[in-house]
């Protein structure tokens, strides 16, 4: 009954119910969490079908382990929205942000939209460790040449100047979701 109701709901919001593992559990008693429960003999296990293949199991930990990590869009143009910009003594201007698409490497000539400022990336760091490349999902700081902190600001978007550089838009369409959370 619960599986039927939830299946129809997730289908309405655009997910394929066949690709979702339904696992009855009791967090209070630990039933079906790490190992199959003897208290649910009616439950024969879960299985999912997706384009990457099938997966099956009997408990929640197996369902969690079967979740495939999302593909990182490294093949798309570089997009890195700036979260902040710092001036670090002895180093210089360091914009920070999360790589959304593409790859950021030292030596890349980047352009910051909408200000249209172009500069070279001297180095890329994540958690105080130098990187040869930053990929989507990485929160990084990168040192840029000949740009002052006053020229860059939060919200600017960095991109590769030679591969579909970011530009300001006159207008755009957005889907806004408002969550009412206490």
Own/partner long-range contacts of 88-94 (Cβ < 8 Å, ≥24 apart): 91/143, 92/122, 92/143, 92/144, 92/145, 93/143, 93/144, 93/147, 93/148, 93/149, 93/152, 94/141, 94/142, 94/143, 94/144
The confidence score (pLDDT) of residue 182 equals: 67
The confidence score (pLDDT) of residue 176 equals: 93
The confidence score (pLDDT) of residue 179 equals: 84
Domain that holds residue 36: 2-65
Residues 105 and 156 in one domain: yes
Number of domains in the chain: 2
Q: Which tokens belong to 95?
A: 């914009």
Whether 156 is in a domain gets the answer yes
pTM (whole model) above 0.85:
no
CA 36 to chain centre: 32
Looking at residues 23-42, what average pLDDT do you find? Answer: 92
pLDDT at 114 over 90: yes
């Amino acid at each position: 009954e619960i599986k039927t109701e939830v299946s129809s709901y997730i289908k309405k919001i655009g997910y394929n119910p066949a690709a979702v593992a339904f696992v009855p559990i009791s967090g209070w008693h630990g039933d079906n969490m790490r190992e199959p429960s003897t208290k649910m003999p009616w439950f024969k296990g879960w299985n999912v079908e997706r384009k990457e293949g099938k997966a099956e199991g009997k408990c929640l930990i197996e369902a969690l382990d079967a979740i495939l990590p999302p593909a990182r869009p490294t093949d798309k143009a570089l997009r890195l929205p700036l979260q902040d910009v710092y001036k670090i003594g002895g180093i210089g201007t360091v914009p920070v942000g999360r790589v959304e698409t593409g790859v950021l490497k030292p030596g890349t000539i980047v352009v910051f939209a909408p200000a249209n400022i172009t500069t070279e990336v001297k180095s890329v760091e994540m958690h105080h460790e130098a990187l040869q490349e930053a990929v989507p999902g990485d929160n990084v700081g990168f040192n840029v040449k000949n740009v002052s902190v006053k020229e860059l600001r939060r919200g600017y978007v960095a991109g590769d100047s030679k591969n579909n550089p970011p530009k300001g838009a006159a207008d755009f369409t957005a889907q806004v979701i408002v969550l009412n959370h206490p």
